[in-house]
Amino acid sequence: MTDPQPVKPSPSTLNRRKFLAAAGAGVAGGSLLTMLDAKQAPAQIKGTTLRILQWSHFIPAYDTWFDSKLTKEWGDQHGVKIRVDHIPHLELPARMAAEYAAGAGHDIIMNGSSILTRLYYKSLADLSDIYEAAGKKHGGWIPTAKALVEAEGRQYGIPLFYILLPMTYRKDLFDANGLKAPDTWELARVAARTLKPKGHPTGIQFSQCADANLNWRSILFSFGGAELDPSGENVLIDSKETREALRFAKALFDEGMTAEVFSWDDASDNRYLASGIACWVHDAISAYRTTEDTNPDVFKNTFIGMEPAGPNGKRVNTCAANVWMVWKFSKNQQAAKEFLTHMVDTFSEGMTASRGYNMPYLNGLAKKPMPVIGSDPKLQILQDFPPIVAFYGYPGPFITPIQEVVNLFVLPDMFTRVARGQSIEDVMKWGMGEYRRIFAKHKRA
Amino acid sequence: MTSASLQGGGPEPTARAAVVSVAAPARSRLMFRSQTSRRLAFGYLLLAPAALYVLLLVGAPFLFSLYLAVSDANVGDPVAKFIGVENFRAALEMEVFWTALQNSVIFLVVAAIFKSILGTSLAFLLLQEFPGKKLIRGLVVIPFTLPIAISVLAWKWMYDSQFSVINWVLSRVGLIGQYGTDSWPIWLGDPKLALLACIAVNVWRTFPFSAIVLLAGFTSVPLEVLDAAKVDGCSFFQRFRHVVAPMIFPILMIGFLFDTVFTLSDLSVVYLLTQGGPANASKILPVLAYQIGIQAGNLGRGAAIALFLVPLLAPLMFLFLRNLRRREY
């Protein structure tokens, strides 16, 4: 039992300034929600210009739809001129830093894979109102979404879609060799071991690229490993499960891959599959689409499977997150918020335009059948992925030190070092050293 | 003039002298004001844009990066506080920093050697008379003038592990084995080859610049001096070493200086080809500074890493410039 606390004067005594602030926020929030509900623009956004910076989508048809239909129709309807600039996703962090430094640039800016909410939230507009509204309207967000955009209890971004990296395999090769579908990582390894001598190895990037960061985490997490605890305070890499995952990766490389994987970039596995060589790849469905577009014979026999399970049956798919934010310096925040809400509401249309590439963070939008993937027998399995989706830092949040770990490719380098022959203990020592150094540095800061 | 006036004697000349002695410095001051000072002012005026350029575009960013390096600045926080040499200490603690530093030095030295050899050879070739000389002179600078992103992406394809045109040609002529065998080089995946592959692209891009600088130097050597050396029985290499090289030394030094700065600060080639991989085997300081400073958002630490280039470059620059100045006298 605890002693009763002395009664303190209420801190929420209302003075004139607080009253005005609260009333102002209430009126502004209420107006926005009313406006969003009525689907009609207030007079003040008419005649304005909205500038959006985002990546060049891996499925070009999505950009065509976004630029010539979505933005155009919404802009015409609301009297807002929209200008969309596309740049490669790897350049987004540098552009964001430049716009922040200049205090000028686009109104809406996208983050792809590298989510920088926690670095910039002091300079970003608070989007909690539209985040909450979208959650209520569309059946709630998947649990891992909030950590991507939240800082100090507020939401500073709208997670619009994430990208799955499923198992994509050649069914003809598997069938011809009496192999079971790669439903577990062990079965995938057996397949690679069997098919490599027949000219069909597999490949996962042992290099410094985004897919390497995602794929090796999927394996690590499926093996029961973890990067951070849910509080984000403690690094959990030094574990038996990580050692198991590293051991597995070494065996997978030795038995089922060639040295090419050390030079791969994000698109190399697409080409490997499309060229007819790979027996399986673990990649976004752009690999599947590339094969469809360039090699119909291989495509006929290319299938997508559930995320392979680890030794204890656990399945985790580490996905590339995408988040849209609004700068605090934007003079058109109201239009930006309304447009982002419209983007969420038209998600299904966007998913169709992306040929099933974009996956929703909102439960209501993930109901079966989902656009494109729900009607394609080979892709239907993707609808079962949302419960096993994870992001960097899993099961903890994607915090700033993890951002640095990701950008310095610490985890893929651990797997690369093991594949190149370093002992697992040496690699664990090196990897933990890097994690500790980065976290200590951020704590000191 | 004044002393000559005084020699005349009598009151009149004295008075004249007094007049002259007062008037002469006044006139000279006037002349100074009217001619020398005007010339000086004009000189400073001509220098002003260059001085302003250096101050604004070199001095100010340098001072700003010094400020960042001793602060905890990050990309999203407008407030940064002074933390002394903490960022430098943190950089020195990183294993990857030492790898990057070592790679940067290897990159600089190996690239400089190859650029010197290839640049000199190309400059001599371009000195010869042959049909289409002007066209060829224009074509050789194309690598230097192409947008770096485009040329490096082309090289990325040429180094591709599966579709490398270099490997397929080597394989067809029997120098390496078939695709999939151990003798098939993985240019960007082998730790030993990755850095060399990046250096090769840097050399390919910038050796035409070395050649053009050398060519400008060679054409400034008077033909009669070379002819005299020939008559005295000097071989080609003796002429180059004892006649041409000393005469074009200042140009060589300036070219070398530019090239050193360009090479050490070259971020694009490595970043676009390997991002510093595999496992940091091709990481150089500018790439590390970019990854930590911009991508990971840690501006202070990124600036500190980038500033490690200064102690690398400053002694070199100092030696070059001092040597150059001595030769001028």
Digit-by-digit pLDDT tens for chain A (445 residues) are 334 344 344 444 445 555 445 555 554 455 555 554 544 555 577 889 999 999 999 888 999 999 999 999 999 999 999 999 999 888 898 899 899 988 999 999 999 878 888 889 989 999 999 999 999 999 999 988 998 999 889 999 999 999 999 999 999 999 999 999 999 999 999 999 999 999 999 999 999 889 999 999 999 999 999 999 998 899 999 999 999 999 999 999 999 999 999 999 888 999 999 999 999 999 999 899 989 999 999 999 999 999 999 999 999 999 999 999 999 999 999 999 999 999 999 999 999 999 999 999 999 999 999 999 999 999 999 999 999 999 999 999 888 899 889 988 999 999 999 999 999 999 999 999 999 988 987 776 6
Task: Give just the sign of the alpha carbon dihedral B38, B42, B45, B50.
Answer: negative
A325 within 8 A of A307, measured Cβ to Cβ: no
Comparing A40-44, A78-82, B167-171, B253-257, which segment has the lowest mean pLDDT? A40-44
**pLDDT tier for residue B14 given thresholds of 50, 70 and 90:** very low
Contact B274 A208 (CB under 8 A): yes
The residues, ordered by sequence, that sit 6+ positions from A125 with a Cβ below 8 Å of its Cβ are A156, A325, A326, A327, A328, A330, A333, A336, A337
Which of these, A172, A432, A191, A212, lies nearest to A308 by C-alpha position?
A191
Contacts of B198 in chain A (CB under 8 A): none
Contact A94 B301 (CB under 8 A): no
Given its phi and psi angles, is residue B164 left (phi above 0), alpha (psi -120 to 50 degrees) or beta? beta
The Cα of B188 is separated from the nearest Cα of chain A by a number of Å equal to 5
Contacts of B95 in chain A (CB under 8 A): 430, 433-434
Helix pair A333-345, A128-137: axis angle to 10 deg: 20
Nearest to B296 among A209, A403, A417 (CB): A403
The C-alpha atoms of residue A119 and residue B295 are separated, in whole angstroms, by 11
Query: What does the pLDDT read at residue A370?
Result: 94
Contact A122 B160 (CB under 8 A): no
Q: Is B72 on the interface with A (CB under 8 A)?
A: yes
**pLDDT tier for residue B29 given thresholds of 50, 70 and 90:** low
Average pLDDT on B157-178 reads 92
Task: Give pTM, 2 decimals.
Answer: 0.79
Comparison of pLDDT for B24 and B15, the residue scoring more:
B24
Is the pLDDT at B130 greater than 60? The verdict is yes
Query: What does the pLDDT read at residue B2?
Result: 38
Report helix, strand or coil for B149: helix
Query: What does the pLDDT read at residue B78?
Result: 67
Nearest CA in chain A to B299: A97
Contact B161 A445 (CB under 8 A): no
Nearest CA in chain B to A94: B294
Contact A207 B297 (CB under 8 A): no
Contact A420 B279 (CB under 8 A): yes
Contact A404 B292 (CB under 8 A): yes
- Rounded CA Rg of chain A: 23
Q: Is B185 on the interface with A (CB under 8 A)?
A: no
Q: Is B278 on the interface with A (CB under 8 A)?
A: yes
> What tokens does A4 get?
């009763």
Contacts of B296 in chain A (CB under 8 A): 403-404, 407-408
Contacts of B276 in chain A (CB under 8 A): 208
The C-alpha atoms of residue A108 and residue A325 are separated, in whole angstroms, by 6
The Cα of A417 is separated from the nearest Cα of chain B by a number of Å equal to 7
Query: What does the pLDDT read at residue A262?
Result: 94
